[in-house]
Amino acid sequence: MNPSLPFPMPLAEKYRPRAIAEFVGLERPKRILSKFAASPYSSAWLFVGPPGTGKTTMALALADTLRAELHLIPSQQCNLANVEDAIRMCWYVPASGGFHLVLVDEADRMSNAAQLHFLSKLDATAFPPQTIFVFTCNATDGLEPRFLSRTRQIEFSSYGLAPDAARLLESIWQREANGATAPNFARIVKDSANNVRDALMFLETELLAV
């Protein structure tokens, strides 16, 4: 932690939504996943959308809501060995007694061997018990049709997000800026192409300049 900063952590982490209902916009994903979280079951999901729309953060919020045991396979690390390790853990009873949640970031960049291994495990006969898979990707071009057919796809879109994102930036500024003159929040969101993460990083630099 840097004591010279006016806040103890990056804004994107400090104000990261922890619950499904806390997300800006994303009404359809929130509605679907709220209903799913109320009655969860073993399944595979694919969150598709541009960077900064909250795909990974939503998956983490889902894991928190379910109190699931989380197994994260980061971007660029989705190879056969890591996939086998994660799935092996899913055959044990989760520490919480509920579900395992395997989160695969940027699944469209996984190795061919990893994708083929997932194909074999996402069939009903080989699906690990009490396990939820969440894959995120910016586009589905790198994923096989057979893989896509085994997942429930949710689109994450930045369309219509700008007003809510601008209000979020304004509320953060009011908490963090100690009365300093506010920037143009709508302009920040527009310049960030409705990418909330990028907008928060820009706002962070504005706060440091106060």
pLDDT recorded at residue 44: 97
- This prediction's pTM: 0.88
Q: Is 1 a residue whose pLDDT tops 60?
A: no
Residue predicted with more confidence, 92 or 126: 92
Closest CA to 41 of 127, 128, 99: 99
- Give the model's pLDDT for residue 6: 53
Higher-confidence residue of 2 and 111: namely 111
Q: What is the pLDDT of residue 210?
A: 86
Higher pLDDT, residue 92 or 6:
92
CA 146 to CA 138: how far, in whole Å?
18
| Nearest alpha carbon to residue 69 among 36, 91, 87, 95 | 95
Q: What is the DSSP letter of 108?
A: G
Cα separation, 183 vs 5, in Å, equals: 19
**Is residue 209's pLDDT more than 70?**
yes
45 three-class SS: strand
Domain boundaries, the chain: 20-155, 160-209
> Among 146, 138, 144, 210, which residue's Cα sits nearest to residue 181?
210
Q: Which pLDDT tens digit goes with each residue over 97-152?
A: 899 999 999 999 998 899 999 999 998 788 999 999 999 999 999 899 999 999 99
Structure-block tokens of residue 74 = 């980061």
CA–CA gap between residue 103 and residue 90 (Å, rounded)? 12
CB contact at 8 A, 16 and 57? yes
User: pLDDT tens-digit profile of 145-171?
Assistant: 999 999 999 999 988 889 999 999 999
Report the C-alpha gap between 61 and 20 in whole angstroms.
6
Q: How confident is the model at residue 186, as a pLDDT?
A: 96
The C-alpha atoms of residue 33 and residue 58 are separated, in whole angstroms, by 9
Cα torsion 193, 194, 197, 201: sign: positive
Helix axes 27-38, 55-66, angle to 10 degrees: 20
- What CATH number has the domain spanning 20-155? 3.40.50.300
In the chain, what percentage of residues exceed pLDDT 90?
80
